[in-house]
Amino acid sequence: MKFFVDTADVAAIRELNDLGMVDGVTTNPSLILKSGRDIIEVTKEICDLVEGPVSAEVVAKDAADMIREGKLLAAIAPNIAVKVPLTWDGLKACKALSSEGHMVNVTLCFSAAQAILAAKAGATFISPFIGRLDDINLDGIELIAQIREIYDNYDWSTEILAASIRSVNHITDAARIGADVITAPPAVIKAMAQHVLTDKGLQQFDADWAKTGQKIG
């Protein structure tokens, strides 16, 4: 499974990238706002840092303007994946941009039917939103399973990018069900290293080591 980091915080991306935990990055207008930086400037810095795909999202609503914005974003760096919404106009933009050789991430997917359309339109990535489905008492992981089954039935190359990750369980469940990629905030990825029994074991080791009166080195 590939790990994408869902942030525009360059320092956080760099920390995880240095550990080999970053296969790509996803951004959106909300994350750009949070960064407080110019979209072109920060996206270029991220692309220079990370070798894998960096998703940069259009903000237009009609296909023609999405395509225009998408081309401007794609010109930032070769590893840009243009992010478009899963609307009819977004699908038109996806088809146009992917036909020109650009990577396209179709976002805000909430049904298997939508995922079928994205694959047919040539999406590089489809981004089903697990957490937002869970918020309205629907099963986000079940959607990942449905898309996995459908894509495998037809050997479609569109990669399933599990998004709206809220917890470590979301990541492990998405991995078990066969998502190709997860994108998660840095804090959630780092939380994967935490376990109460690991902490308890370290406390016991520290206490016992102190009793030996020894030092290493």
Q: Angle CA(65)–CA(68)–CA(71) in degrees, nearest 5? A: 145
Domains of the chain by residue range: 2-192
Which pLDDT belongs to residue 217? 87
76-90 pLDDT, tens digit each: 999 999 999 999 999
Superfamily of domain 2-192 in the CATH hierarchy:
Aldolase class I (3.20.20.70)
Active site positions, annotated:
83
pTM of the model: 0.95
Q: Is the distance from CB of 130 to CB of 170 less than 8 angstroms? A: yes
> Which parts of the chain sit beneath pLDDT 70?
none
